[in-house]
Amino acid sequence: MARRILTIIISAVILCLGTACDLTSPDDIMTEGAVRFGDGKSEDNYDVQDTGALLDELIEKYSGSYYNPSGRKMSDDEFRNAKRRRSSQKESSDESSEQESSEENSKQESSEENSEQESSEESSKQESSEESSDQESSEPDVEDYKASSVKDLLRIFKKAFSNNDTLVIVELVDGFTYDFTDNTSFSTGCSYLYRKLEREDPIGVSGIYGWSYRSEGNVNYIGLYYSFDIDELRQMKKDTVTLLKQAKNNIHPKSNSDYDIAVAVNDYLCDTVYYPPNEPYEPVTHTAYGAFKNGCAVCEGYACAAKLLLNEFGVESDIEMGMCRNGGGHAWNLVKVDGNWYQMDVTWNDPSPDRHTYFLVTDDYMKMSRSWDESDYPKTPKVPYAA
């Protein structure tokens, strides 16, 4: 009887060691997944995909946080208000032009009179000009633009985003057409303009959460909406510039080479920024400000901060947007090192053991976990960078 009991106990212990006692915590799974996904980074066969649960866990935790602002049709009330603002601005502009013309005539007439009267009229002109300036400053922050190309639209919206304008009015001229509505491919509409401008100036587009649009003939009305109070957002943008310079002063690359700068920037962000543990993610985590000021950012914040820092050091960088295999939106970087572009994902480097699992790797390697519009970004060599 004792021998049977002992046998049962030994069998139970063996079973426990082989199964239940081998459970892995979620964090261990993530770490192991990063290591496993990084295996073979320098091998030639980049087409073999790890379809196991570990990679799925890695993708699940660190994707889906890229926020692409979306648009909607402008409501009837918003449309009427937008047209009213445009009409009010036009009336103000016409009155200003008439006043300037009248002042010019007065100036011409006064030149024929004696110097004493001329001086008096000049003083009157100055007072009139000051009144006109006061009147202009109180008018709505709306301006009529004309665009004959996508390049014109990018210039217009860059100014509007940077100024935190709430309404953009664009008349399409010279036969140029553009569909401001958004579609699923983001190849047109305001989404396209936003993504292009974010890649150029992450600070300028900070805080935008959406837009509305309506057209009347060739005149298009686009309302812009922000996640923050306008005054607060303006201050955040100014602070981001200051924080960027402070961050640069705290980074000390081993040399001035592109590679050493990229290493230092990647490691600095891994050291100072963490990914927020819980959803919903605060709007500030999508910005470089969130990364620099609070040390907390999602993939978009990491990518924006990395681009700004690399550019500050004189290294070319781009922000890449795509979809992970689970359908989650994601943002990361392209970095130009020694004349070639390479992929870098600081967000996914942060939890990886050596923090370089996704550092200066290839397009083929990244395709194991995500996809993107390859025609819209520079291509990498077939092998990762070797220092």
Q: How confident is the model at residue 106 (pLDDT cuts 50, 70, 90)?
A: low
Q: Check pLDDT > 80 for residue 295.
A: yes
28 pLDDT above the threshold of 70:
no
SS (H, E, C) the chain: CHHHHHHHHHHHHHHHHHCHHHCCCHHHHHHHHHHHHHCCCCCCCCCCCCCCHHHHHHHHHCCCCCCCCEEEECCHHHHHHHHHHHHHHHHHHHHHHHHHHHHHHHHHHHCCCCHHHHHHHHHHHHHHHHHHHHHHHCCCCCCEEEECCHHHHHHHHHHHHHHCCCEEEEEECCCCCCCCCCCCCCCCHHHHHHHHHHHHCCCCCCCEEEEEEEEECCEEEEEEEECCCHHHHHHHHHHHHHHHHHHHHCCCCCCCCHHHHHHHHHHHHHHHCECCCCCCCCHHHHCHHHHHHHCECCHHHHHHHHHHHHHHCCCCEEEEEEEECCCCEEEEEEEEECCEEEEECHHHHCCCCCCCCCEEECHHHHCCCEEECHHHCCCCCCCCCCC
- Give the pLDDT band (50/70/90) at residue 14: very low
**Given a cut of 80, is residue 139 above it in pLDDT?**
no
Sign, CA dihedral 355-356-357-360, equals positive
Distances in Å between the Cα of 146 and the Cα atoms of 155, 160, 168 are 11, 14, 11
**Higher pLDDT, residue 342 or 14:** 342
Q: Give the model's pLDDT for residue 35.
A: 37
The per-residue pLDDT for 386 is: 92
Average pLDDT, the chain: 78
Q: What is the pLDDT at residue 46?
A: 29
Q: Average pLDDT, stretch 98-122?
A: 52
**pLDDT-above-70 percentage for the chain:** 67
The pLDDT-based confidence of 142 (bands split at 50, 70, 90) is confident
Give backbone dihedrals phi and psi of 237, rounded to 5 degrees, phi first: -65, -40
CB-CB neighbours of 107 under 10 Å: 13
| pLDDT digits 0-9 by tens, 310-355 | 999 999 999 999 998 888 889 999 999 999 999 999 999 998 888 9
- For CATH 3.10.620.30, the residue range(s) in the chain are 230-376
Instruction: Render pLDDT for 35-84 as a digit per residue (tens, 0 to 9).
Output: 333 333 232 332 333 444 545 655 666 555 566 678 899 999 999 999 99
Higher pLDDT, 33 or 255: 255
β-strands 70-73, 208-216 pairing: parallel
For the cut 50, the answer to whether the pLDDT of residue 363 exceeds it is yes
Contacts of 31 (CB under 8 A, 6+ apart): 351, 353
> Distances in Å between the alpha carbon of 60 and those of 29, 30, 40, 328, 333?
12, 10, 21, 8, 19
User: Average pLDDT of 158-170?
Assistant: 94
The pTM of the full predicted model, rounded to 2 decimals, is: 0.74
Confidence category of residue 86, pLDDT binned at 50, 70, 90 = confident
Instruction: Read off the pLDDT of each residue in 205-222 and give the average, rounded to a whole number.
Output: 93
Determine the pLDDT at residue 42: 32
- For residues 69 and 212, the model is more confident at 212
More confident residue, 194 or 36: 194
Domain 230-376 has CATH 3.10.620.30: yes
The token pair at 156 is 């217009």
d(CA 159, CA 141): 12
pLDDT digits (tens, 9 = 90+) for 217-260: 999 999 999 999 999 999 999 999 999 999 999 999 999 999 99
Q: Ranked by mean pLDDT, which of 22-26, 90-94, 207-211 comes out on top?
A: 207-211
